[in-house]
Chains A and B, each alone.
Chain A
Amino acid sequence: MIAGLLLLYYEFFKVGLFAIGGGLATLPFLYDLADKYDWFTQKMVGDMIAISESTPGPIGVNMATYVGFQNYGIIGAIVSTLGLVSPSIIIIILIARFLQSFSDHPVVKRVFSGLRPTVTGLIGAVAVSLVVAEVISSSVYESQGISLAMFQWKAVVLFLILLVATNRYKKHPLFYIAIAAAVGILFQF
């Protein structure tokens, strides 16, 4: 248990250290963790995003709490969340002390000119994986190869409708999540 908690702290410390830019920046790292440990599956990352988007608080913190709780209960939730915020506390205190105009520093600006497209590409890859996992049936693909039969048509239709809707109407994510849940129950996803 102690070893597991330490590992949880260490892994979320790394997430906090390398997830830069906020919002979904923690996502590629969580996807990677799902691959590395049996704490949660990549499918569960989708559930986690839905829960985080529908509850208050920063998404990264919510996801860390959720993963920690699922594996070691309340203690796990606390440990993974503290792991996630530890690098922030250390780095921000150092910066607040020494560098007043950190974000205007030319080196910082240059590093960020590389980081922004990189993070976009990383999250883009997760986005594609998330969608593929839902619209394509992996069992049909494995037995028959690439064919029309591998598509989960209900999911494809819902995805296309929601893609247009979320782009057009700026409603709260909770709105779309609630609608999707109802559709899922009605049409037996």
Chain B
Amino acid sequence: MRLLWNLFWTFARIGVFTFGGGLTMLPMLQAEIVEKNHWADDDELLNYYAIGQCTPGIIAVNTATFIGYKQAGIKGGIVATLGMIFPSLVIISIIAGVLTTFADNVTVQHAFAAVRVAVGAMVVNTVVKMWKSSVKNQMAMVLAIIVFLASMFLPISPIAIVLLGAVCGLVLPSLGKEGKA
């Protein structure tokens, strides 16, 4: 019981101090999981993280489930995950509640119109970074462009596209080769 409690609060703390998720949570994971609780060593942590990256779902959640499961079985996996999402539930619910109250305020609307422009710029930058790290040869480039166009102009669900992308990876081994893009 104490271990489950500890798992919950450790991951709740990690959730509070992780902005944006993804790689930003690694230093926090290292401090809490490796140094403080000794639930994994550095190599194991990176291994869990790698698995979290290539399984469906949010990386942070996947890593939490993995570590929780290793420590305390299925219960541990569930408790660690609940800990990870607990801060988001509290913080976002408060913000959403406040925002709903102010949504019709003209000043708030002006602010958000410009904030959406900033978000657009940041997402474009993220895509450029993703492109550099994940499009490593010409075939991958062709695939990314086809997906982009299909998603922009055809009424096709992203689920179908993701499944097709996975199949492409399976049947086209040259997609994984390093090369010029």
Contact = CB atoms under 8 A, between A and B. Distances in A.
Given A102-B51, A111-B170, A128-B152, A24 B110 contact: no
A161 B173 CA distance: 41
Given A91-B56, A118-B147, A134 B89 contact: no
A115 B60 CA distance: 19
A128 B151 CA distance: 11
A138 interface: no
B161 interface: yes
Contacts of B175: 110, 113-114, 117
B158 interface: yes
A74 B93 CA distance: 7
B88 to A, nearest CB: 4
Contact of B165 (A51, A77, A118): A118
A58 B84 CA distance: 9
A53 B21 CA distance: 9
A76 to B, nearest CB: 9
A66 B99 CA distance: 11
B103 to A, nearest CB: 9
B30 interface: no
Interface centre among A55, A121, A182, A188 (most CB of B within 10 A): A121
Contacts of A177: 115, 118-119
B93 A69 contact: yes
A163 B54 contact: no
B5 to A, nearest CB: 19
By DSSP majority rule, is chain B's interface helix, strand, loop, or mixed?
A: helix
Contacts of A20: 54-57, 162
By DSSP majority rule, is chain A's interface helix, strand, loop, or mixed?
A: helix
Contact of B162 (A70, A109, A119): A119
Interface string A117-136: 11111111111111101110
Contact of B170 (A92, A110, A134, A183): A110
Interface stretch (A1-9, A78-86, A141-149): A78-86
A71 B13 CA distance: 28
Nearest to B80: A89
Contacts of B127: 120, 123-124, 127
Given A14-B159, A58-B22, A112-B169, 5 more contacts: A58-B15, A119-B130, A135-B120, A184-B114, A189-B113
Interface of B: 15-22, 25, 47, 50-62, 65-66, 69-70, 74, 77-78, 81, 84-85, 87-89, 91-93, 95-97, 99-100, 107, 110-128, 130-131, 134-135, 140-141, 143-148, 151-152, 157-159, 161-170, 172-173, 175-176
Interface of A: 14, 16-24, 26-29, 31-32, 43, 46-47, 49-53, 55-62, 65-66, 69-70, 74, 77-78, 81, 84-85, 87-89, 91-93, 95-96, 102-103, 107-131, 133-135, 155, 158-159, 162-163, 165-167, 172-174, 176-177, 179-185, 187-189
